[in-house]
Amino acid sequence: MLSSPMRTSRQYLALPLFGLLLLLVFPLHGAQAQVGAVPDPVRAGEGMVVSAERHATAAGQQMLAAGGNAVDAAVATGFALAVTHPMAGNLGGGGFMVLRLPDGETLTIDHREEAPSGATEDLYLDAGGAIDTDRRRLGHLAAGVPGTVAGLLYAHERFGRLSRAEVITPALNLAQDGFSISAREADRLNRYRSDFLNFPGSARYFTKEEPWAAGDTLVQEDLAQVLRRIRAEGRDGFYRGETAALIVEEMERGGGLISHNDLQAYAPVERAPVTTRYRGHRIISMGPPSSGGLALGQLFAAVEPFDVAALGFGGSATVHLMAEAMRRTYADRARYPADPDFVDIPMAGLMAPAYVRERMQTFDPERITPSDSVQAGVPPGWESTETTHYGAVDREGMAVSLTTTINALYGNKVAVDGAGFFLNNEMADFTAKPGEPDMFGLIGSEANAIAPGKRPLSSMTPTIVEDPEGKLLLLIGSPGGSTIITTVFQVILNLIDHGMELSEAIAAPRVHHQWQPEALRYERLGLAPDVREALQAKGWSLSGGTTRWGRAQGIMVVCDATDVLADDAGMRAAELAREGCVYEGVADPRSEGTAAGL
């Protein structure tokens, strides 16, 4: 079948630039709208920040205005999210960062959490060998060694331009002075009140006698003290000294495993990105222990032989093709990827187009391939919830795409008493028992079994896309557990094959299949009645219509027909304006996110 034409150019008038003109932050009022509502994008010529929370976006924008680069902006945004977005922004979790430097060099920083040194493979099995779900999701035993602070500081030390004090101070001020919470945040805090009351720190910081309401001020003085220590001492202000002592005391109080040695030994890892090509575009994403880059590579290789544009957006033929590709990709995900420092992963074989085409030979345009007949393949050479994404780009074209998580909303629900931040429950992402599903329903293998110092498999997929000429085009990522990969996949597909603008591509309804369970999920308003009927006629079991998932955040370079893009060597804002190129930031209407430009 023929490949579809490229559809990545947009004709926009460049915004006039008057030195360092700050654009207003445009809150995306479609946050309460149904899936399908298209938000207004924010456009600017000298830089862009996008995140899930407006105060955090503003912190990143302040760094760009102060002469900082994209890493400064991303680090400031990350620390601010730890204050203003406690359900997912964090000091007590971890994440993945994908960077593209102005000269086109790319790299990734893995600051995923690690299993404590006292963790064992059978940590979450009861006496009868069954999985104890509560122990792996709630409370102290669910926490892995946090990596967020080490990762952000490592990136800043390697690539930042401003001082550590400058990038941390906005978050510190938000914690010390307080900020007004949104209606959604108030609702979430009230909903988890009963969980918070089980832990003294959580009860003290995140509950009060009367219910939380929109506009209430959240002041976090203990968290501000932690940020002061990090600002003054760097990583030692978190992984040693008073903050480390508070974490270990919290572990001892609740039977957790994180020790002083675990904290002091933690280090982020700089890894090569996983790259793939789709219709001439280079897609740069995260490798293991994230499964995101590998899965994206397989998904795009599976659909590239088909004319997706001709099949049309949202039609039964397109959905059927995507879902069958997803089914095979997630079957491989269940077997192969894990922490590469512990397990050999046949990356080249898994991403080889010939291997993926072989996997798709059983694809039937008219009928489903039942999940029980789809198993992990044998690649050449092989022997037998809650998360948040943000991104930043600067006037030189440096780009940072970063996804961070504490797993479930508010992690393990334990806020460190005396420190004021939630710990993660990332240990739930390990395979507690091979063949059994995790908290997102994903099947795991022995490769992802618990081991001391090992990092659990993740679906986080921070991604950067280059156009066919090798120039910066897009930063994209999303939260959403097992749906992260398919969300990023569909946003990119919408841009390249369906010719959508970024705001349309992010707002468009999504589908998801992960091999097991059998049902094909779809979002509210995601499938028309006749499409549902056509899919059911092909044999699909459908689930959805009342839910929505993912909160994608994206930044795109948009240009006139000359396709002169923002990272040309030596090009500055005034030149960009003359060529008609701008940055466009879009936050998902499913979220309360914002974009802010410079």
Q: Which residues are catalytic?
A: 387
Phi-psi region of 525 (alpha: psi -120 to 50; beta: other; left: phi over 0): left
Q: Strands 542-544, 520-522: parallel, antiparallel or unpaired by DSSP?
A: parallel
Strand order across the 386-393 sheet: 26-27, 594-597, 48-51, 386-393, 399-407, 94-100, 106-111, 269-271
d(CA 204, CA 224): 15
d(CA 129, CA 132): 9
What is the three-state SS of 370-392? Answer: CHHHCCCCCCCCCCCCEEEEEEE
Which 3 state secondary structure label does DSSP give 248? helix
Largest CA distance in the chain: 70
Q: How many CB atoms neighbour CB 429 within 10 A? A: 27
d(CA 112, CA 107): 15
Which 3 state secondary structure label does DSSP give 146? coil
Reported as half-sphere exposure (CB side, CA atoms, 13 A), residue 405 has a value of 33
| 84: Cβ contacts below 8 Å, ≥ 6 apart | 53, 55, 56, 174, 179
Strand order across the 542-544 sheet: 511-512, 520-522, 542-544
- Burial of 209: CB neighbours in 10 Å, binned 0-12, 13-18, 19+: exposed
Q: Is the dihedral of CA 256, 260, 265, 270 positive or negative?
A: positive
Element (H, E) at 322: helix 316-333
Which 3 state secondary structure label does DSSP give 404? strand
d(CA 111, CA 148): 6
Q: Is the dihedral of CA 89, 90, 95, 97 positive or negative?
A: positive
Which residue from 237, 291, 294 is spatially nearest to 263, judged by alpha carbons? Answer: 237
d(CA 571, CA 565): 9
Which 3 state secondary structure label does DSSP give 139? coil
Element (H, E) at 504: helix 502-507
